[in-house]
Chain A
């Protein structure tokens, strides 16, 4: 993409005479990018809404959107939300603690670098290989399952555990949620200056006071933002879930179920699209709040 625009980059008095012309040229530069996004991202997304709102005869109706909250789909929403919230919570707590560790532990000196590098890697792992790893660990014939069975005499599966239960999913999803939280929170925790701690102590406060009055309030935007990001991450995870279970008890899995079947007779195809539409709506709200929070938390990172 080479532009042969004749305008120079240094503004001078002459350009003030024709500011409009200059601006319209500049817009051209980002048109390819916008066009690309429209074709390959916006258009498919809008098609989903179109399919969800207009049935096969072309009539507009929100029935499909409403029906997305009935029956098994409703159960899927409940499960997905519950699961995402729980795994986000676990991620925030453990990830936050790990970030705090990386930030405050002075010795060993390589620990912080190691934790942040490791998090950079692990946050992007996931999907199919991760599911296989956990199946090997905690599946019915998993190594840990057997160890717990032999060592503690507890058959976790008989006690109600399963990799595709809430506990199982939270356990697996934490593998990429915790590192992601570390990555997001590390800059924020770094921003907690030592001088604040000392000042608090000098004024007679304890460690608990420090956290309650200074630390947590400062970190709250980052923690909340982290929660939202982890929530979004967990809610939309498909690959890991698909490799872990054959059931369709989560929203992404149900969408996959509807996409892969032949529902032309029952008209259930539209349900799949309405599920996808709702998923996007939830994501928009979620990421919207996240965006605002991130802006606020960046204030403390100067």
Chain B
């Protein structure tokens, strides 16, 4: 009896200790250990940037003047982040040492959210970030979250250590974020190279990339792929047409509705035809009840996907593994291009690490990463001028004549579209 009691007590004690020990791992960011370990690497990082700063003018905006041929190594490998010895250091000239040091003080961690691997090659961009800053952790929570869910995470996790530091949201959601003061204004070192249409005048957000809506079809499941918006209403596609979420919450679905509207007699000011188009699809049973996620695409649940064209290349390999073939068509009757907004979240726990992330996606590595994924980076002009963009890089990009047709919605048009969706999508489509 005594022995039993003793072992029970010992067991309880061990359990408590384990629980307490494990608890520390999760919650507390072990800043002291991190700072001790990274002290050396931080020094080397700063010396590296110092070297780069020496060989080039400090302001990155001046790099346009140095039209030196970039290292071919850098051009081909979008995910090698470190500069080759001495060659084309101007592309990494920006001095972020202050932010790097401050980031370390914050805990060397940047909480990211809603960045799926296959979305415009975020897998490559994240890997490049990891190589550029080996000591910074960059956990990505909820990869398939919609833009609205990102805001919800900000509000729900406010004050916690896992609150998102940086977001990537649709213009519709970005608008309400600005209204609620959730974006922290910040001017990037690349600010001058980003066109006015792809950034917020008050520095709340930048649009690091944009793309075009496409219809991607799994041709193993579907015999003839739909090529235009009108095709989608064909009864043979019953239950197969799918969106990437709810347009009231997700940017990709929002864009799909606007695009459908352009194809059906609407305009950037009036998206009701688009809502009506999808109401019709819902009524005749063509609209799938599942949202597009990597899992549903790979299982074949969403064979006809209306999504950004840059979401397709990332899944190509896995689709082939499954034995699926697919085709992507840009519907000629309605071309719509849209961007996403990235920025720092107000009062997030790691403001400076967040700055490093933002600078990274706007940098050359980031831009080339987006390019590889099939999205157009914001600084494409600057990169092209410096000869960093080769033709084989643009293989995933939509054709130039399609890109020329792209007109972004203005903020007023976005607001009007939001309202139309809020009032009509529910009754007409979602819960019909």
Which residues of A approach B to under 8 Å, CB–CB?
Answer: 71-72, 75-76, 139-141, 157-158, 162-164, 245-249, 260-262, 265-266
CA distance A54 to B155 in the complex (A): 23
CA distance A163 to B288 in the complex (A): 12
How far apart are B419's CB and chain A's nearest CB, in angstroms?
Answer: 10
Is the C-beta of B431 less than 8 angstroms from some C-beta in chain A? Answer: yes
On whether A141 and B422 interact (CB within 8 A), knowing A246-B290, A261-B152, A262-B176, the answer reads no
Please pick, from A71, A158, A245, A260, the residue contacting B238 in the complex, using a CB distance under 8 A. A158
Which 5 interchain pairs have the tightest Cβ spacing? A72-B431, A141-B300, A246-B291, A140-B301, A141-B299
Interface of A is mostly: loop
Q: Are A260 and B149 in contact (CB under 8 A)?
A: yes
How far apart are A17's CB and chain B's nearest CB, in angstroms?
Answer: 41
How far apart are B300's CB and chain A's nearest CB, in angstroms?
Answer: 5
Is the C-beta of B134 less than 8 angstroms from some C-beta in chain A? Answer: no
Taking CB atoms and an 8 Å cut-off, the chain B residues in 300-324 that contact chain A are 300-301
List 28 interface pairs A-B (beta carbons < 8 Å), by A numbering: A71-B427, A72-B426, A72-B431, A76-B431, A140-B239, A140-B288, A140-B290, A140-B300, A140-B301, A157-B238, A157-B239, A158-B239, A163-B289, A164-B289, A246-B290, A246-B291, A247-B289, A247-B431, A248-B430, A249-B431, A261-B148, A261-B152, A261-B249, A262-B148, A262-B151, A262-B155, A265-B176, A266-B422
Q: Are B152 and A260 in contact (CB under 8 A)?
A: yes
We find that the number of chain B residues with CB closer than 8 angstroms to chain A is 24
CA distance A140 to B422 in the complex (A): 29
- Chain A residues with CB under 8 Å of B290's CB are 139-140, 246
Interface centre among A75, A162, A260 (most CB of B within 10 A): A260
On whether A246 and B246 interact (CB within 8 A), knowing A141-B300, A164-B289, A262-B151, the answer reads yes
Q: Are A139 and B301 in contact (CB under 8 A)?
A: yes
CA distance A266 to B248 in the complex (A): 13
9 more CB-based (< 8 A) A-B contacts, given A248-B430, A262-B155: A140-B239, A140-B300, A141-B301, A158-B238, A162-B289, A245-B289, A260-B149, A260-B152, A262-B148
Q: Are A246 and B289 in contact (CB under 8 A)?
A: yes
- Chain B residues with CB under 8 Å of A141's CB are 299-301
How far apart are B158's CB and chain A's nearest CB, in angstroms?
Answer: 13
- Chain A residues with CB under 8 Å of B289's CB are 162-164, 245-247
Cβ-closest chain B residue relative to A164 = B289
